[in-house]
Amino acid sequence: MIFNISLYLSLIIFALGLTFKISTWFRYNFQSPSKPFSAWERFYAAMGGIMATFFSGRVLTLLRTLLLDVFCQRRIMRESRLRWFMHMCLFWGFTLLLLMHALEGMFTSNLFEDYASTLNPFLFLRNFFAFVVFVGIGIAIYRRFIQKTPRFFTNAMDRYALIILAVIMMSGVFLEAAKIGSFERYSQMVTDYADFDGEQEQKALEALWVEDFGVVSPNLTSPFDKELLTRGHELHEMNCAACHSRPQWAFIGYGAAVVLRPVALPLDRLGLVTLLWTIHFLACFIGLAYLPFSRMFHILASPLNLLANSVMEKGKSHPANIITLQMMALDACTHCGSCTSRCSLAVIFEEIPNPNILPSEKIASLKTLASGKPLSEHQMTVIQEGLYLCTNCYRCTSVCPAGINLQELWFDVREAVLKRGHPELLVLTPFSMYRGLLSPNLAEADYHRAQEQPIAGIEAVCSALSKPDDPIKPVHMDRDFKKQLLSSANGSTFSYCFTCITCSSVCPVVRNYPNPSEVLGMTPHQIIRATALGLPDLVFRSRMLWYCLGCYQCQDACPQAVRVADVLFELKNLAVVRMKNQNRQTGEIS
């Protein structure tokens, strides 16, 4: 009764969850509120794409991917042998348990006429598959909780996945153990199936089952005399052997039964078997019902993503399908951490503690963005910073075992987020080269807006002395600003400047303009002078500061050994701190 109710309930939740999650692949996008395609348009495009693929030569590509990447998990193998072994154990061990044991009514008993779960080879195989799964769980626990890898995060979802799996497996093992030792079960079976001639025969069989089959009896204890056991064996052959192999074949369950033996009797009377059975099936059903919402959903999404990726390509596939694929990719992520372990920039997380720098952690923010949940301005700037702190080196994409095209995902989300209009100072760094090289793929207005926003943002915050005719007064002079520069070896060299203008006259950026001040604000020697006067706003606002190539011509030419370029770099660092503080303040207020 409880079994059936919970089974159907979990199936209903699973089906609804599955429908909901799959619908998000078509409904969600990063472009909110402006959507390029409706959910139905994307659904039909996907169906069209699938049909077109099935009726083309690409079916062979799909089969190849299915064999190598899904069944053999070649991509994990390339990443690490240990992890491949772990995942193969979990994947195949659990799949085979599911097919042979959980779905025995559907498959095994139909395939094998004389199937009984207590009979070899099924008895042994069930334990063998369980053993394989346990090996996998063991390696996973070692990897996540014992081996300390920096920047490898284990989140609530990872813990849930391990816990539900462990509960299912452990309850199964102890259920088998409790059944092996159970006198109640033994008596029940004897009543149902055995045919005795007198009490002595009953005793003989019971003795054999206590001796060889691990039953813990309240009446009899070992040792028994040989004759009794021989008689018991004959009776066993007649009555039980057709359905029962020796329980030692169930090497894990039998081991657990040995451990339980001292307390087996009282627990058996209290109904341990029923309790464990209830825990076992409830854990399975909870796992099933929650599967679409958990990390375990990758069981479905990762293979689909691998298959879709093998036949899709940006530029060739329908643009609606590219969006859909990216939404599916978010569910395909298993949070395995391969990307972060290879990330070219992961190490800077120790200096800039923004988890969005790390590819494996970025995915969580992307899920939030895709679902359209409202985010505060501050949260948005944090995500944006993490998205921009990427060298586009392609390493994450080349190692992802789920085959997610992360590089393309980052690029698309980065652009979608930039469109929302929060100025990003990182646009003014060489991280923008990639964006510049890919700019033909972007709308011109969007491309240029993101370039102008950070400078406009700085102008808005650093607004002192914004009128050229305003006289500089002591009140404008910021002593802390000067002190900060004076505390560093390079920065302090600004004080040697005697304004000979050599730096500005050799600067290739200055030389590029007929009237440099018009475009650049201040030229390098003026920036150095303004620094000496302690006027940060004037310095930070100058385009020259942000257009410095870092080519070091100025520094090499300076007769006074002012480290001009290095001073400019330090000034930019100070400007970034100032803008970040400002963002934090306004973010908290809003």
Partner 1 sequence: MKLALQRCCTTPIFLKQYETSTNAVLGRLGVQLTDEALNCCGYPLKSYNYKAYVLASARNLSIAEKQKVDIMTFCNCCYGTLKEVDERLREDPALCAEINGKLEQEALKYEGNVKIQHIMEVFYHELGSDRIREHIVKKFKGLKIAVHYGCHILRPRELVQFGAPGTAAVFDELVAMTGADLVPWQLQSDCCGSPLWGIDDDLSAALTRKKIENARASGADYFCLACSYCQVQLDRVQKRLLDEGRITDPMPSILFTQLLGLSMGIDPDVLGIQENQINISPILDCID
Site for partner 1 in 37-96 (CB under 8 A): none
DSSP 3-state assignment of 478? coil
Contact residue for partner 1 among 22, 406, 428, 530 (CB under 8 A): 428
Q: d(Cα 548, Cα 555) in Å, to the nearest integer?
A: 12
Least distance in Å: CB of 525 to partner 1?
18
- 559 part of the interface to partner 1, by CB under 8 A: no
Cis upstream peptide for 559 (omega within 30°) = no
How many residues interact with partner 1 (rule CB under 8 A)? 56
Residue from the set 48, 372, 421, 550 that interacts with partner 1 by CB under 8 A: 550
Q: Which of 106, 556, 585, 588 lies at the binding interface for partner 1 (CB under 8 A)?
A: 556
Nearest CB to partner 1, comparing residues 113 and 444 = 444
Of the residues 368, 508, 585, 586, which one makes contact with partner 1 according to CB under 8 A: 508
**Which DSSP symbol is given to 35?**
-
Sign of the C-alpha dihedral computed for residues 547, 553, 556 and 559 taken in this order: negative
Q: Determine which residue in the list 296, 427, 462, 497 makes contact with partner 1, applying CB under 8 A.
A: 427
User: Under DSSP, is residue 515 helix (H, G, I), strand (E, B) or coil?
Assistant: coil
Q: Which stretch binds partner 1 (CB under 8 A): 86-94, 130-138, 279-287, 572-580?
A: 572-580
Q: Which of residues 317-356 bind partner 1 (CB under 8 A)?
A: 343-348, 350-352
Cα(366)–Cα(416) distance, integer angstroms:
11
Interface residue with partner 1 among 379, 432, 453, 495 (CB under 8 A) is 432
Q: Considering only residues 230, 573, 585, 586, which one is a binding residue for partner 1 as defined by CB under 8 A?
A: 573
Per CB under 8 A, the list member of 111, 270, 433, 443 interacting with partner 1 is: 433
Q: Decide whether 208 or 413 has the Cβ nearer to partner 1.
A: 413
Tell me the C-alpha distance between 182 and 270, whole Å: 11
Q: How far, in Å, CA of 200 to CA of 228, rounded?
A: 9
- Identify how many contiguous H helices and E strands the chain contains and give both numbers: 31, 0
In this structure, is the dihedral angle defined by the CA atoms of residues 315, 317, 319 and 321, taken in order, positive or negative? negative
Identity of the residue, 44 or 434, whose beta carbon is nearer to partner 1 in the bound complex: 434
In this complex, which beta carbon is closest to partner 1, that of residue 298 or of residue 525?
525
- Residues of span 398-417 touching partner 1 by CB under 8 A: 398, 407
Query: Token pair of 440, please?
Result: 């033909």
- The amino acid at 92: W
- Least distance to partner 1, CB of residue 320, Å: 26
Cβ closest to partner 1, residue 237 vs residue 446: 446
Q: Which residue lies nearer to partner 1 by CB, 489 or 589?
A: 489
Residue type, 89: C
Residue 403 or 454 having the CB closest to partner 1:
454
Name the CA dihedral angle for 383, 386, 388, 394, rounded to a multiple of 10 degrees: -130
- The SS3 assignment for 552 reads coil
Binding mask 441-480 for partner 1 (x = CB under 8 A): ----------x-----------------------------
Range 193-252, binding partner 1 (CB under 8 A): none
Binding mask 358-397 for partner 1 (x = CB under 8 A): ---------------------------------xxxxx--
DSSP notation for 355-402: GGGSHHHHHHHHHHHHHT----HHHHHHHHHHHHS----SHHHHH-TT
How many C-beta atoms surround the C-beta of residue 512 within 10 A?
11
Q: For 227-282, give the DSSP string.
A: HHHHHHHHHHHHHTTTT---GGGSHHHHHHHHHHHHHHHHHHHTTHHHHHHHHHHH
Site for partner 1 contains 435 (CB under 8 A): yes
Touching partner 1, residues 140-179 (CB under 8 A): 148, 150
Report the alpha-carbon distance of residue 111 to residue 108 in Å, rounded.
5
Q: Is 437 in the site for partner 1 (CB under 8 A)?
A: yes
What's the Cα-to-Cα distance from 471 to each of 378, 462, 466, rounded to whole Å? 36, 17, 11
- Exactly one of 429, 453, 505, 582 binds partner 1 (CB under 8 A); that residue is 429
The region of 279-287, 293-301, 479-487, 565-573 touching partner 1 under the rule CB under 8 A is 565-573
Q: Distance from CA of residue 56 to its chain's centroid?
A: 33
d(CA 356, CA 388): 10
Residue count of the chain: 590
68 CA to centre of own chain? 22
| By CB under 8 A, residue 555 contacts partner 1 | yes
Closer residue to partner 1 in complex, CB, 70/345 = 345
Query: Which H/E stretch holds residue 287?
Result: helix 272-290
Q: What minimum distance in Å lies between the beta carbon of 325 and partner 1? A: 20
Question: What is the amino acid identity at position 131?
Answer: F
Distance from C-alpha of 526 to C-alpha of 369, rounded to nearest angstrom: 43
Of 48 and 508, nearer to partner 1 (C-beta) is 508
* Residue 138 near partner 1 by CB under 8 A: no
Binding stretches for partner 1 (CB under 8 A) = 148, 150, 343-348, 350-352, 391-395, 398, 407, 425-437, 439-440, 451, 489, 508-509, 512, 546-553, 555-556, 563, 565-566, 569-570, 572-573, 576
